[in-house]
């Protein structure tokens, strides 16, 4: 089975990602100002909650764009692996920011359920419809990017939250205009918060896993060991396996390979192991230590 789809990180994809993030950044930044004004004028928590979310999205998208810029820097003496990890730091920060937004929306919604304020439905509906259009466009732009990239996924998640918030605001405005039932505004805000919570937690958990040098979630280490032993005749066993990733698209591996006997051409064996790792498991950066007798680290 091939896992090559985990390793597509060519420059074309990166440039595409940067362009999409910048376009979404401009759209989100401009509409944030409009939605804040609309929320204050109408008195709608759904609009203010979405505007607050869009404000953090503006920073989040700016951080994502900056992360792509930094990660493109070449490796240097202090950072031999380069700056790819900055994307994961940005994704982690974005995930945490969404969790904070969810907590704020829940707090405000409870306050408004206890004392529902008057909301101007017409103004709320107009601003919410404009926001819905803007968020749909931004979502389509970002969704066309590389979804295996956590930085892009963090940006998509932020915009998806805005999109859900706009849908809730439109629905809430229609209910208020037709029935005058004000509690619908904070109730829909709670629904948006619930939908955001699960995705925000997944993004935070995945980025934290990478920052903690966790093994790629898609890689079965035991299966990999068995495959190499079965594929390369000279290999007797494999141990001291360490697998981590700079990003989900940049897996890195080190391992000790135990041989049956001293090889005439050790480079050929290393090359064969590396070819198996790349073809079967998508690991393109590996360091192989060959052993015949005792392990040097024992």
DSSP per-residue letters across 256-290: EEEESS--S-HHHHHHHHHHHHHHHH---EEEEEE
pLDDT band for position 286 (50/70/90)? very high
Domain boundaries 221-291, corresponding CATH code = 3.30.70.1350
C-beta separation of 147 from 83 below 8 A: no
C-beta separation of 85 from 247 below 8 A: yes
Residue 109 pLDDT = 85
How crowded is residue 219: how many other Cβ atoms within 10 Å of its Cβ?
Answer: 17
CA 188 to chain centre: 25
Task: Report domain extents, the chain.
Answer: 4-211, 221-291
pLDDT band for position 105 (50/70/90)? confident
Q: Is the pLDDT of residue 4 over 70?
A: no
CA dihedral sign of residues 37, 169, 159, 203: positive
Domain 4-211 has CATH 3.40.190.10: no
Parallel/antiparallel/unpaired status of strands 251-259 and 285-291: parallel
Give the strand order in the sheet containing 251-259: 235-245, 251-259, 285-291
Q: Is the pLDDT of residue 140 over 80?
A: yes
Question: At CA 99, angle to CA 44 and CA 127, rounded to 5?
Answer: 25
pLDDT tens digits, 8-51: 443 334 677 788 888 888 888 888 888 788 778 877 766 776 67
pLDDT tens digits, 151-198: 787 778 778 877 887 888 888 889 989 988 888 888 888 887 887 787
Residue 13 pLDDT = 41
DSSP per-residue letters across 15-46: HHHHHHHHHHHHHHHHHHHHHHHHHHHHT-HH
pLDDT band for position 57 (50/70/90)? confident
Share of the chain above pLDDT 70, in %: 92
Stated length of the chain: 298
DSSP 149: -
Name every residue whose Cβ is closer than 8 Å to that of residue 74 and which is 6 or more positions away in sequence.
Answer: 82
């Amino acid at each position: 089975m091939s896992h090559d789809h985990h390793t597509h990180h060519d420059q074309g994809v990166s440039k595409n990602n940067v362009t999409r993030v910048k376009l979404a950044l401009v759209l989100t930044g401009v509409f944030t100002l409009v939605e804040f004004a609309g929320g204050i004028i109408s008195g709608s928590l759904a609009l203010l909650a979405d505007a607050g979310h869009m404000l953090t999205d503006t920073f989040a998208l700016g951080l994502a764009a900056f992360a792509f810029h930094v990660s493109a820097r070449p490796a240097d003496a202090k950072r031999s692996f380069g700056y790819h990890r900055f994307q994961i730091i940005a994704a982690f920060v974005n995930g945490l920011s969404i969790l904070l937004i969810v907590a704020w929306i829940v707090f405000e919604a409870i306050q408004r359920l206890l004392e529902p304020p008057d909301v101007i439905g017409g103004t709320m509906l107009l601003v919410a419809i404009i926001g819905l259009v803007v968020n749909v466009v931004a979502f389509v732009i970002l969704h066309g990017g590389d979804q295996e990239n956590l930085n892009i996924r963090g940006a998509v998640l932020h915009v998806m939250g805005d999109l859900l918030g706009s849908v809730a605001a439109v629905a809430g405005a229609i209910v208020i205009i037709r029935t005058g039932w004000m509690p619908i505004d904070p109730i829909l805000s709670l629904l948006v918060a619930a939908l955001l919570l699960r995705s925000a937690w997944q993004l935070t958990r995945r980025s934290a896993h990478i920052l903690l040098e966790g093994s790629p979630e898609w890689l079965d280490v035991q299966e990999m060991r068995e495959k190499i032993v079965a594929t390369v005749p000279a290999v007797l066993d494999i141990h001291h396996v360490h697998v981590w990733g700079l990003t989900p698209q940049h897996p890195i591996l080190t391992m000790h390979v135990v041989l049956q006997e001293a090889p005439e051409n050790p480079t050929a064996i290393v090359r064969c192991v590396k070819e198996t790792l790349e073809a079967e498991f998508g690991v393109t950066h590996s360091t192989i230590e060959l052993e015949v007798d005792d392990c040097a680290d024992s």
